[in-house]
C-alpha cells in the first residue's frame, strides 16, 4: 500500500468509506519493501540502476505506455520463487485492501505467471493462493473471492488447464475467470469454447476489452463470449451501437482510472471517460487494477473520481452499490454486504 496515502488520507471522506474492489490483480498488488526483503533473502540479482522500486512501480518520468507498464510485470516474475513467497504476496495484497477499508475484494491472479519461473504445478499454485487468501480474509475482516486469469497472448491450451483446475476449486474461493492480456494484437476467438466451459460449470466471466483495443472488442466480449463484466471497457463510447448494447444488457464495467492513465489509454487523467460512461447510462464500478505498480489505493481512486473526474459523492456511492450487485457472490451474500455497507456509509 502507498504509505503516504495511509497517513495523509487517514481521516478523509474517501478513506473512511467502506469499499468494494472487483478488479485487482494479485501480481500488481505488491509492497516494495517486501520485494526488497525477498530479493535480499533469495539473492535475486537485479540491475543497480534503476532501483528495484523503479523496476516495479510507475515513476513520474516513466513513459506512460503499455510497454512500460507491462515491463514491471516482467520484473515481478523473477520473484515467484517459492510457495512461501506466493503465499506472502497473497496475504499482504489482501491485508492492504482491508487496511484501505475494502470490505469485499475479488482478487484475480494469473496461475501461469506465478508458476513459470520454478515450473510449479498450476494446481499447486492455485491451492497456495486459495489457502493464503482464506487466511488473510479471516485475519483482516474482509471477504475475498478469487478469479483465475488467463492471457489471450498465451497458448489456449494453458487456459484450458487453468480453467479445468479453477472449476475443481470452486469450493475453495475461486468464483470466476478472467480473459486478460494483449487485446490489440490477439483475438479472443481461440478461447471461446474454453470460456463457455467455465460458464457452463458455474464460473462467472470478466473479459479485458476496450482498453488496448476499441469498442468492437467490448461487443465481442458481450455477444460472443457472454462476459458478465467488462474489465475496463473505457473505449466503449467510441461506438454508439456498442454503448446501447451494453446499456440494454446491463453489462457492468470495471473501471480503473489511474491504471488507464498509466498505460496511456488517456493522455491526461482529466480525459478519462468515467463520468461520460455514467451519464450514458452504463453500469460503472471503480477499482484499482494494479495498486502496487501504480502506487495507489482504492481511496485514491474514489478521490480522483470525485475531485478530478466530476463524480458527485452520491454517484460515487452508487458505483459502490453497483459493484456489490455485479459481484460474483450469491444473492444472499450480496444482500448481507449491501446492508453492512449501507449502515457503515450512514455512520460516516
Ligand atoms: Zn486488469
The whole-number pLDDT of residue 46 equals: 76
Q: Ligand 1 centroid to 143 CA: how many Å? A: 20
What is the mean predicted confidence (pLDDT) over 71-80? Answer: 94
What is the mean predicted confidence (pLDDT) over 23-35? Answer: 96
The whole-number pLDDT of residue 50 equals: 75
Could you list the active site residues? 211
Instruction: Give the strand order in the sheet containing 283-286.
Output: 19-25, 102-109, 143-151, 174-180, 204-209, 229-232, 252-255, 283-286
Q: Ligand 1 centroid to 177 CA: how many Å? A: 12
Q: Ligand 1 centroid to 316 CA: how many Å? A: 21
pLDDT at 129 over 80: yes
Say if CB 44 and CB 310 are below 8 A apart: no
What is the mean predicted confidence (pLDDT) over 328-346? Answer: 98
What is the mean predicted confidence (pLDDT) over 160-174? Answer: 98
Q: Pairing mode, if any, of strands 174-180 and 283-286?
A: unpaired
Q: Ligand 1 centroid to 71 CA: how many Å? A: 15
Please calculate the CA angle 296-25-197 and round it to the nearest 5 degrees.
155
pLDDT at 4 over 60: no
Domains of the chain, CATH where assigned: 3-346 (3.20.20.140)
Torsion sign over Cα 246, 69, 275, 267: negative
C-alpha cell at 138: 479471516
User: In this predicted model, what pLDDT tens digit does every residue of 185-213 receive, in sequence order?
Assistant: 999 999 999 999 999 999 999 999 999 99
pLDDT at 10 over 90: no
Q: Ligand 1 centroid to 347 CA: how many Å? A: 32
Query: d(Cα 230, Cα 206) in Å, to the nearest integer?
Result: 6
Q: Ligand 1 centroid to 24 CA: how many Å? A: 7
Say if CB 285 and CB 253 are below 8 A apart: yes
Say if CB 316 and CB 79 are below 8 A apart: no
The whole-number pLDDT of residue 210 equals: 96
Query: d(Cα 39, Cα 47) in Å, to the nearest integer?
Result: 12
Average pLDDT of the residues of the chain: 95
Residue that wins the pLDDT comparison between 262 and 6: 262
User: In this predicted model, what pLDDT tens digit does every residue of 290-307 receive, in sequence order?
Assistant: 999 999 999 999 999 999
Query: d(Cα 62, Cα 194) in Å, to the nearest integer?
Result: 37
Q: Ligand 1 centroid to 343 CA: how many Å? A: 30
CA gyration radius, the chain: 19
Q: Ligand 1 centroid to 4 CA: how many Å? A: 24
C-alpha cell at 133: 487468501
Q: Ligand 1 centroid to 294 CA: how many Å? A: 12
Task: Establish how many alpha carbons lie within 13 A of residue 33's alpha carbon, considering only the half-sphere containing its beta carbon.
Answer: 5
User: In this predicted model, what pLDDT tens digit does every residue of 40-62 receive, in sequence order?
Assistant: 999 998 776 678 999 999 999 99
C-alpha cell at 279: 451519464
Q: Ligand 1 centroid to 220 CA: how many Å? A: 18
Residues of the chain above pLDDT 70, percent:
96
Residues of the chain above pLDDT 90, percent:
94
Say if CB 76 and CB 292 are below 8 A apart: no
Amino acid at each position: 500500500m502507498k504509505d503516504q496515502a495511509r497517513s495523509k488520507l487517514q481521516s478523509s471522506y474517501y478513506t473512511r468509506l467502506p469499499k468494494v474492489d472487483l478488479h485487482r490483480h494479485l501480481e500488481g498488488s505488491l509492497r516494495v519493501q517486501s520485494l526488497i526483503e525477498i530479493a535480499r533473502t533469495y539473492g535475486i540479482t537485479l540491475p543497480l540502476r534503476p532501483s528495484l522500486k523503479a523496476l516495479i512501480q510507475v515513476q513520474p518520468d516513466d513513459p506512460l505506455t503499455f510497454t512500460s507498464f507491462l515491463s514491471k510485470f516482467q520484473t515481478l516474475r523473477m520473484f515467484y520463487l517459492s510457495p512461501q513467497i506466493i503465499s506472502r504476496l497473497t496475504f499482504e495484497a489482501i491485508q492492504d485492501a482491508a487496511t484501505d477499508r475494502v470490505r469485499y475484494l475479488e482478487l484475480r491472479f494469473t496461475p501461469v505467471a506465478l508458476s513459470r519461473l520454478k515450473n510449479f504445478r498450476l494446481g499447486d499454485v492455485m491451492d497456495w493462493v486459495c489457502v493464503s487468501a482464506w487466511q488473510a480474509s479471516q485475519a483482516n475482516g474482509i471477504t475475498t473471492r478469487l478469479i483465475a486469469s488467463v492471457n489471450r497472448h498465451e497458448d489456449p491450451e494453458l487456459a484450458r488447464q487453468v480453467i479445468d483446475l479453477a472449476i475443481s476449486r470452486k469450493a475453495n474461493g475461486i468464483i470466476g475467470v478472467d480473459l486478460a492480456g494483449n487485446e490489440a494484437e490477439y483475438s479472443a476467438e481461440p478461447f471461446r469454447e474454453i470460456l463457455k466451459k467455465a460458464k457452463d460449470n458455474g464460473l462467472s466471466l470478466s473479459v479485458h476489452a476496450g482498453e488496448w483495443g476499441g469498442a468492437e472488442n467490448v461487443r465481442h466480449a458481450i455477444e460472443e463470449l457472454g462476459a458478465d463484466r467488462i474489465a475496463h471497457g473505457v473505449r466503449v463510447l467510441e461506438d454508439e451501437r456498442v454503448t446501447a448494447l451494453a446499456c440494454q444488457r446491463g453489462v457492468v464495467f470495471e473501471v480503473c482510472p489511474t491504471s488507464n492513465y498509466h498505460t496511456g489509454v488517456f493522455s491526461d487523467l482529466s480525459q478519462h471517460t468515467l463520468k461520460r460512461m455514467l451519464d450514458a447510462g452504463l453500469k460503472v464500478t471503480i477499482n484499482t487494477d494494479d495498486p502496487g505498480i501504480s502506487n495507489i489505493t482504492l481511496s485514491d481512486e474514489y478521490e480522483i473520481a470525485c475531485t478530478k473526474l466530476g463524480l458527485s459523492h452520491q454517484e460515487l456511492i452508487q458505483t459502490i452499490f453497483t459493484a456489490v450487485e455485479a459481484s460474483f457472490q450469491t444473492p444472499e451474500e450480496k444482500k448481507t454486504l449491501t446492508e453492512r455497507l449501507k449502515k457503515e456509509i450512514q455512520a460516516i
